[in-house]
């Protein structure tokens, strides 16, 4: 390897970067909706069980694998898996998923992130200030997304402008590297994110019932809607699956991002305490802050009768329709609207820069090209790949990208990681590796959990999702005939991306072999 790899400036920096990667739009939109719709407070029981049995073990495995691979100057899954199992020629190809997944998520996530930047601008400018009901706000959103021409928007101009700005900001941060870009961003963005969230929680907790006709619409009843348990829900497998899924998505495990971030650690750096700190920071943002904003606030303004429908209306509807409507009815609506969308934007950008990093690290580490060139290549290619999601949003392209990049391969990749680390690399070696330089010793029963419970949990999730949800999606059972060509084209694009990455892995290893380098 010609150039020295980048490193983190401090331990706090990587904790903030991993926490920033994990804290995303889902913490403030997906979690409260899932909890409210799946048993309220009772949802927290399967949620914490999943956190302890699935989330934390996967987090520690990824931190350890990343640090281990970084020792061999590999920052992405193909090289890391190869370092684990050097005699196997094929194991590196499993690692392609660890670059493919984050790249695919990056190409639609940046677009969604750009909506939050646009809406924070609209909030300040008062562009949606006069809207008072759900249909009008939905029409505003659809107009902005280019799905219809209406009184608010005519075409994709605004959306595209904010996408270019957001994309440019991401590339700018990534260009300056781990220490100069991502670390600096997270040091500013994460505290600011917590400040925005605390400000909104304080505002929500001081809300009064909007009219005397509905004295029951209090913030305490709003919290009750979120937290009052329906213990009967615990008998439903769906609720347990939803909780496990939420833990999976919220901690950013199974993507490949943590592997890359941890590869910039030194061999003596702790991963146990750092992983736990990043996870608990994410939980603080999700359960304590995320659970205290949108659902209680919406309850105060819409009441019990409309809340079930609102909670089930989907993430985007909650964030871009319900919440602006609630904030519109408060004094200083523009300011609080700006704070809400700034909060989402900060959550988004700290995640999106992490999603681009595996591709950059792959080009830098395996092809020995400079960071500047790697960022240029990645920037140009991902900008082109973003276009179908923007132009054909209404045809289901983003949903399709999210299914493959952000759901399907995420669980598959996590399962591969666990099996390779625990069962192929070996539990004893894995346990020693986790504890190398550790500031915290894990209880012995975690050895048993990591070896048996976590893989079984993952296989159960995989099986249940394939059975319940994935088969209809894979066979396009819920896709309208006019959208099918777009979905098929998206799948072909994804297949091509995967194949190109696999070929690049092959070329990288061939180059190293021809130069006589040890293939570590």
Partner 1 sequence: MTISGWILLILSWGLIIALNVFCFVKVLAKKDDEREANASKLD
Residues that bind partner 1 in the complex, under the rule CB under 8 A:
10-12, 15, 40-42, 44, 48, 220-221, 223-224, 227-229, 266-269, 273-274, 276-277, 280-281, 283-284, 287-288, 437, 439-440
* Residue 369: DSSP 8-state: -
The minimum distance between CB 241 and partner 1, in angstroms, equals 20
Exposed / middle / buried, residue 90 (Cβ in 10 Å: 0-12, 13-18, 19+) = exposed
**Which of residues 48 and 377 has its CB atom nearest to partner 1 in the complex?**
48
CB of 496 to partner 1, least distance (A): 42
Nearer to partner 1 among residue 440 and residue 499 (C-beta): 440
Give the shortest CB-214-to-partner 1 separation in angstroms. Answer: 17
Integer Cα distance of 101 and 408 in angstroms: 9
Q: How far apart are CA 323 and CA 302, in angstroms?
A: 11
Cβ distance to partner 1 smaller for residue 273 or 333: 273
Give the nearest distance from C-beta 20 to partner 1 in angstroms: 15
Which is nearer to partner 1, 147 or 284 (by Cβ)? Answer: 284
Cα 416 to Cα 150: distance, rounded to the nearest angstrom = 48
Question: Nearer to partner 1 by C-beta: 101 or 296?
Answer: 296
Q: How far apart are CA 178 and CA 17, in angstroms?
A: 9
Q: Which is nearer to partner 1, 228 or 480 (CB)?
A: 228
Residue with tokens 């395996």: 366
**Cβ–Cβ contacts within 10 Å for residue 296, how many?**
26
Distance CA 63, CA 315 (A): 29
- Nearer to partner 1 among residue 97 and residue 298 (C-beta): 298
In angstroms, give the least distance from the CB of 279 to partner 1: 9
User: Quick check: 237 and 38 in contact, CB under 8 A?
Assistant: no
Rounded CA separation 365/96 (Å): 14
CB of 270 to partner 1, least distance (A): 8
Min dist CB 360 to partner 1, Å, is 24
Q: Which lies closer to partner 1 via its Cβ, residue 169 or residue 289?
A: 289
Nearest alpha carbon to residue 508 among 364, 366, 359:
366
Q: Judging by beta carbons within 10 Å of its beta carbon (0-12, 13-18, 19+), is residue 67 exposed, middle or buried?
A: buried
Pairwise CA distance, residues 187 & 328, whole Å: 31
Q: How far is the CB of 400 from partner 1 (least distance, A)?
A: 34
The 10 Å CB-count burial string (b at 16+, else e) for 239-248 is bbbbbbbbbb
């Amino acid at each position: 390897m010609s150039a020295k790899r980048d490193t983190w400036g401090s331990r706090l920096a990587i904790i903030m970067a991993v926490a920033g990667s994990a804290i995303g739009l889902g913490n403030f939109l997906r979690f409260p909706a899932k909890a409210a719709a799946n048993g309220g407070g009772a949802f927290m029981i399967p949620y914490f069980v999943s956190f302890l049995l699935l989330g934390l073990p996967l987090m520690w495995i990824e931190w350890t694998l990343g640090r281990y691979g970084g020792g061999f100057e590999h920052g992405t899954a193909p090289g890391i898996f190869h370092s684990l199992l050097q005699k196997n020629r094929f194991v590196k190809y499993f690692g392609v998923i660890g670059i493919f997944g984050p790249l695919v998520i990056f190409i639609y996530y940046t677009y969604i992130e750009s909506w939050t930047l646009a809406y924070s601008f609209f909030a300040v400018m008062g562009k949606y200030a006069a809207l008072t009901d759900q249909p009008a706000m939905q029409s505003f959103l659809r107009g902005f997304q280019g799905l219809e021409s209406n009184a608010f928007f005519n075409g994709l101009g605004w959306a595209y402008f904010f996408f270019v700005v957001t994309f440019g900001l991401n590339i700018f941060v990534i260009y300056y590297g781990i220490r100069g870009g991502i670390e600096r961003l997270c040091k500013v963005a994460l505290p600011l994110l917590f400040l925005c969230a605390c400000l909104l929680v304080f505002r929500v907790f001081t809300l009064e019932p909007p009219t005397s006709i509905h004295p029951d619409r209090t913030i305490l009843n709003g919290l009750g809607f979120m937290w009052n348990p329906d213990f009967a829900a615990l008998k439903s497998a769906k609720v347990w699956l939803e909780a496990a899924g939420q833990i999976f998505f919220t901690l950013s495990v199974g993507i490949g991002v943590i592997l890359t971030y941890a590869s910039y650690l030194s061999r003596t750096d702790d991963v146990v305490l750092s992983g736990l700190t990043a996870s608990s920071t994410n939980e603080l943002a999700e359960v304590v802050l995320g659970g205290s904003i949108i659902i209680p606030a919406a309850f105060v303004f819409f009441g019990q009768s409309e809340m079930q429908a609102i909670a089930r209306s989907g993430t985007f509807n909650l964030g871009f329709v319900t919440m602006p409507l609630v904030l519109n009815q408060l004094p200083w609506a523009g300011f609080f609207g700006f704070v809400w969308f700034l909060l989402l934007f900060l959550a988004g950008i700290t995640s999106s820069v992490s999603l681009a990093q595996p591709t950059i690290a792959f080009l830098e580490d395996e092809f020995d090209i400079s960071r500047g060139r790697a960022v240029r290549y990645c920037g140009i290619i991902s900008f082109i790949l973003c276009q179908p999601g923007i132009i054909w949003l209404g045809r289901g392209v983003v949903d399709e990208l999210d299914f493959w990049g952000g759901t399907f391969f995420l669980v598959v990749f996590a399962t591969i990681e666990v099996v390779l680390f625990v069962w192929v690399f070996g539990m004893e070696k894995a346990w020693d590796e986790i504890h190398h330089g550790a500031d915290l010793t894990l209880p012995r029963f975690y050895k048993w959990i990591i070896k048996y419970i976590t893989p079984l949990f993952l296989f159960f999730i995989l099986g249940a999702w394939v059975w319940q949800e994935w088969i209809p999606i894979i066979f396009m059972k819920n896709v309208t005939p006019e959208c099918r060509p777009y979905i098929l084209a998206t799948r072909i694009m994804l297949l091509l991306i995967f194949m190109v990455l696999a070929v690049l892995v092959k070329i990288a290893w061939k180059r190293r072999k021809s130069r006589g380098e040890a293939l570590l």
